[in-house]
């Protein structure tokens, strides 16, 4: 974890940012409660899970840990939307209007506002989830749905999330991160929602993501090591 912090500090220095402006989400999918406890002892308080079926038992097993914040970073099926209300501090992967409306409904029934990020596909990869916003010339029309989602009373939209293509060269994905940051700037002028949080960057490219404005980086292998 010390090495990850050093790399974050260096990336922030290169982009004239404070390291405090970047939150590390330790991606704990496939990791045991014991491994999570070890990372917690190293000072990490934010953990990201991809699948409800795996996450909920771990959250229960680790309910003695103080100040832990759980993040849902994986795809959420609409039929399971109700299950993310409560256990998670932030949903990174609100990727369609249908899901947003269901989360809004269940959050309202729970008399709460659900903190959320809207997932955007700014790379154009067919395998990626989220709103298709790969072509900036189409943003004015496409972002109307994002504005509508941000206006839902049960959601507190904080910003955007994206998944970059897998690449052996981190510089190759810099345009993807830059595109999401530019989209966030446009959204700030478009309507409701804060749009200040950018969840982007993983183990292989988080330094480039930070240089392009990431406020949250989702790191698994560099924290937990290889394997399960």
pLDDT (mean) for 118-136: 89
Where does 62-142 show beta strands of DSSP type E? 69-72, 90-94, 114-121, 131-132
pLDDT of amino acid 71:
98
pLDDT of amino acid 189:
84
Residue 28 burial (C-beta neighbours within 10 Å; 0-12, 13-18, 19+): buried
Residues 6+ positions from 17 with CB-CB distance below 8 Å: 210
Buried b (16+ CB within 10 A) or exposed e, 82-119: ebbbeebebbbbbbbeebbbbbbebbbeeeeebbbbbb
Length of the chain: 228
**Separation of alpha carbons 194 and 2, rounded Å:** 31
Does an H or E element contain 37, and which?
helix 33-41
pLDDT of amino acid 125:
86
- Provide the phi-psi class of 86: left if phi over 0, else alpha when psi is between -120 and 50, else beta: left
pLDDT of amino acid 228:
55
Average pLDDT for the chain:
93
pLDDT (mean) for 129-154: 89
Q: What is the pLDDT of residues 74-86, one digit of tens each?
A: 999 999 999 999 9
Domains of the chain: 2-224 (3.20.20.10)
């Amino acid at each position: 974890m010390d090495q990850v912090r050093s790399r974050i500090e260096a990336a922030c220095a290169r982009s004239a940012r404070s390291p405090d402006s970047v939150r590390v989400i330790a991606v704990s999918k496939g990791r045991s409660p014991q491994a999570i406890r070890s990372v917690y002892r190293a000072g990490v308080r934010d953990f990201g899970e991809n699948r409800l079926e795996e996450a909920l038992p771990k959250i229960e097993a680790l309910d003695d840990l103080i100040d832990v914040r759980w993040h849902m970073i994986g795809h959420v099926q609409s039929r399971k939307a109700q299950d993310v209300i409560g256990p998670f501090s932030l949903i990174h992967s609100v990727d369609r209007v249908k899901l947003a409306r269901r989360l809004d409904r269940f959050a309202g029934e729970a008399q709460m506002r659900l903190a959320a990020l809207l997932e955007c596909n700014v790379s154009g990869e067919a395998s990626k989830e989220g709103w298709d916003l790969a072509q900036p010339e189409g943003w004015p029309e496409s972002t109307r749905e994002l504005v509508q989602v941000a206006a839902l009373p049960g959601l507190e939209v904080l910003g955007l999330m994206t998944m970059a293509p897998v690449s052996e060269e981190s510089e190759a994905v810099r345009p993807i991160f830059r595109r999401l940051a530019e989209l966030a700037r446009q959204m700030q002028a478009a309507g409701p929602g804060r749009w200040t949080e950018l969840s982007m960057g993983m183990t292989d490219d988080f330094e480039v993501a930070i240089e392009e404005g990431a406020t949250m980086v989702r790191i698994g292998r560099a924290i937990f090591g290889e394997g399960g």
